[in-house]
A and B are shown apart, each in its own frame.
Chain A
Amino acid sequence: MNFCERLSAVLHGGEPDVVPFAPYDNLVPRGEFERELADRGMGLLDRHAGGIWSEMPNVEIATHSEGNVVTTTYHTPVGDVYTRNKTHLGRIADGATVQVEGLIKDIHDVDPVIFMVEDTVYHLDPRPYLEAVRAWGGHGYLSQPGFAVPYEETLGFFGGYAGIPAWIYAQNDYPDAFRKLLEALDRRERRRLPLLLQLPGDLVSCGSVDGNYGPARWHKYDLPYYQEFVPQFQAVGKIVSIHAHASNNLAYADLLRETGVNVVEAFTPPPVGDLSIAEARRRWGPDVVIWVNFPETIFYFGYEETKRYTMELIQSDPPGNRLVIGFTEMGTYGITDAESERIFKTGFRAVAEAIEACGVYPVRA
């Protein structure tokens, strides 16, 4: 089996030859070390931008740069809103910018943002995706964005993680405006849904569990979308995954089961996360694919401990045909100097060797 066949077997309920070793492609960049790991069976997940592009025909976008700060202003018929991003910040995963101000800074910004959401028009173009599939061949697997969850999406308008306080205040200070924003996002997702269901490819990534808001809110705002949309995706042959990278997944474990997703990825086991694979398997049943984010922290305990830890992870989930060992958060971006290079490369090699040692299907406990 090549990597693509191996991962496909896991995702489609089949039997792999060995537990797949599948980091995100951007976390193990192309190069000599990547080739070394590929020679040991590692393949990569390309989180492709997908076959849908969007436009806002009635919004004009203006960009102004001052030093390394880029201000992007969106002129809408109901007012202007802007973001500020710092650029040229060196090595940052997923784009070398950091947003320092989100679109919504006070209540006056909500209507223009709602206008932008309502003005968004989607177009289907699967060619880039299909061509990427051809290029990757057996070395990579592709996922695409699936549906977005409106409540989770709202945080992005406030500046993402850096905007969490403003996002919380907004829900308390102007709840009606916030509700209208949620409703607009709901309508946007429903406009996009028919196109999403037409896309080629099987693996779609839908929302996340970040741990930024509690299980009660997640239950109230997010779960209903999964319960409504996941069956529709599955009915057209899609494999639905959720990016559950919260360190307190234990609090969401039963909610995750209720989503009905096929894959829980970015799953970070103890000691970084609080939910073990065995406990997750007990709660979610035998069919859910658990796609592990390997905690790089373990690397600092050395080669032997990393190998032992990895083997223990794998052996905790026999027979191993619904398990993927991945890197979804840091990967080789954790290398910043000669010491971390030695530690991370040793760690990656230990993971590869542990999979070779005990990851052959069927895995024995």
Chain B
Amino acid sequence: MNFAERMQAVLTGGEVDRVPFMSLESILPRGELELGLRRRGLGLCLSRPVVWCEYPHVNLDVQTVGDIATLTYHTPRGDLSLRQRQHLGRLADDASCDLDGLVKTPADLDAAIAMAEDAVFHVDASAYSDTAFEIGADGIVRCDGPRSPDELSAELVGYRPGMVNAHQVLTYWHHLQQTEPTRFGALLEALEAQELRRMEAVIASPVTLVRLGRIDGEISPARWRERALPFYQRVTASLRAAGKVCSLHAHAPNLEAYADAIGASGVQMVEGLASPPLGVMAVGQARRHWAEEIILWVNVPEALFWLGSTYVQHQVTVLAMTGEPKNKLIVGTTEQGLVGMVDDESEAVYRAGYHAILDGLGYPA
């Protein structure tokens, strides 16, 4: 079986010869190492847009001073601005870093609502179709789908997973909800409507695999259950009815606290799952929490590579056993990838670590 056949079996409930090994394309740049891994059976997960968003009544100004770009969105109900630091060297994808969010004061809420209401989605699957053709059997292509209004509102105030001052930003996010409940509620409503329009466009596109939002562990399980879960239940019902496979990127180390809610969300795939020693929920526990039909895409943290290839191989073998059935299991890397490879020593460690994953899954050398 090649990778694409393996993944097709995983997505449709067929039989697989081996557990697929899949990495996000964005963290595994082209080159000798990734080519060697693909030769052995690694596959890539490539994200491509199938819809694009237009804001007909919003103008964007960009002012760049030094390495900081200030983006100002002029909406009919006020301006929003965002600062980005650029040219930061090695960062994933866009090589920039947001320094703040669009919503900085309560006065920004109306403009944020206007922007969400203005968003118009158009289907354009050409990048998706072209990439699917080019990658062939070496990967699968998916798109980003609707995300919960709660998650989007946190990003509007500047929250990003892994950011340094997440506590400060999320504190302000909570404060805003307490002090401006009516307008914040209106923002959530506008964002939900925006995401439902996005969902309709995704449904109209040819994509099969749709990634929904994230579970970072920063929004509490109780709140996620209260706010995000109903939204995901609604969109997964519609997307599944249209033949789509939905996934959540659940990379929170405290994932067990969200396990019941994830099981009720209706997603068919949970990705980014970090098992111990980095996460607290083992793959076996995840399997017990959720139905066997749920596809688990388990992240092998690159930190393990430093413990040696024998350790990695053993861990992956155990992962594959505890995560059975193997036709509902994917092992891979979803967080760091080759970004962690910075010198000759780390290159050697990562090379050995990645190949040890394939060894652990029984791929031929």
Contact = CB atoms under 8 A, between A and B. Distances in A.
B87 A62 contact: no
Given A32-B137, A55-B65, A96-B127, A140 B347 contact: no
A136 B32 contact: yes
15 contacts: A32-B135, A35-B39, A39-B39, A57-B64, A62-B61, A63-B62, A65-B60, A91-B126, A96-B127, A128-B95, A134-B31, A134-B341, A137-B33, A139-B30, A140-B32
A44 B31 CA distance: 9
Contacts of B65: 55, 57
Given A91-B126, A135-B338, A56 B30 contact: no
B29 interface: yes
Contact of B90 (A29, A65, A127, A335): A127
Counting contact residues on chain A (CB < 8 A from B), the size range is 35 or more
B243 to A, nearest CB: 24
A213 interface: no
Interface stretch (B7-15, B48-56, B165-173, B245-253): B48-56
A131 interface: yes
Contact of B64 (A44, A46, A55): A55
A35 B137 CA distance: 10
Interface residues on chain B, size class:
35 or more
Contact of A61 (B39, B55, B63): B63
Contacts of B131: 29
A125 B89 contact: yes
Interface in A341-362: 341
Nearest to A39: B39
A30 B33 contact: no
Interface string A39-83: 100001010000001011100111111111000000000000000
Interface of A: 2, 25, 29-35, 38-39, 44, 46, 53, 55-57, 60-68, 87-88, 90-91, 96, 123, 125, 127-128, 131-132, 134-140, 332, 335, 341
B313 to A, nearest CB: 23
A63 B61 contact: yes
Nearest to A75: B61
A268 B67 CA distance: 40
Contacts of B341: 134-135
Interface string B133-165: 111111100000000000000000000000000
B124 interface: yes
Given A32-B135, A128-B95, A134-B341, A64 B347 contact: no
A63 B70 CA distance: 12
A30 B61 contact: no
A92 to B, nearest CB: 9
Nearest to B35: A139
Interface string B300-342: 0000000000000000000000000000000000000010011
Contacts of A132: 29
A141 to B, nearest CB: 11
A38 B37 CA distance: 13
A26 to B, nearest CB: 10
A66 B63 contact: no
Nearest to B125: A90
A266 B353 CA distance: 39
Given A57-B64, A125-B87, A88 B30 contact: no
A41 to B, nearest CB: 12
A134 B30 contact: no
Contacts of A90: 124, 126-127, 130
Contacts of A44: 30
Contacts of A138: 32
B138 A127 contact: no
A65 B95 contact: no
Nearest to A32: B136
A131 B90 contact: yes
Contacts of A136: 30-32
Given A88-B122, A137-B31, A332 B62 contact: no
Given A31-B136, A90-B130, A134-B347, 4 more contacts: A25-B30, A29-B131, A137-B31, A139-B30
Given A31-B136, A90-B126, A60 B35 contact: no
B90 A128 contact: yes
User: Among B31, B67, B347, which residue has the most Cβ atoms of chain A within 10 A?
Assistant: B31
A38 B30 CA distance: 12
B77 interface: no
A57 B70 CA distance: 12
